[in-house]
Structure 1
């Protein structure tokens, strides 16, 4: 098992402090294990019941050797993973604005552990506040490629 290097979120006091972090990698979240229950609940919520996600018996002889998480489940975990990497003091509101350049280079096998690494790409005025763009790479423990890479855009209002 890979040891945890999670040190808690890096906290920014204001937009100026965050702007100074543009171009830097902020660190990684703690590891999170993806369970079959989580995959099944996501399938139920989205109506995506493809066998590679929800049928462990059939998936065992499939292309991944077992069930895998939906790509969009992996993407939906990005906010949870990111909040372990960075936080804000005195923020009145933060909202998701969207995601750009989302890719799923590798599957997430059920039972594996993932973590998110966050890089600050930009901070610009917009959306009634500051528009933050980060690149989040979701790694699979022991994997050689990320499971998900997304440019995540948020609007922050102090």
Structure 2
């Protein structure tokens, strides 16, 4: 069965934060004030951003300098729990608008504006996993990113 769809944003950042909080707590993690602030900063961007961009936004929000390594650890926790995704080709992070989505992500990354559209296509990612398995490789997480121009920029 193939599921193909593009994900849009939640109605509000509060809805997105609530979904992220529920996901982390459900995984046995804590939703600390710093984690909430980091998530809020990440969700405030409309494109994938670096950990340093998130660090700067958190520092501006809190009025004190936050260590980049603390933000990196939190972002890694978010990725491990599907609360955020890492756009590998951009070395950047983006809030996952569907943290309970069980699909492997495919990102369409615009080279002009930097936005990334997340789509799911179980047929494509299943074939990538099957090809890896056939080659004697045990796939953990396929990374599929397509670079190009989004509809607004093309």
TM-score by length of 1: 0.26
The structure whose residues are more often strand, as a share, is: 1
Greater Rg over alpha carbons, structure: 1
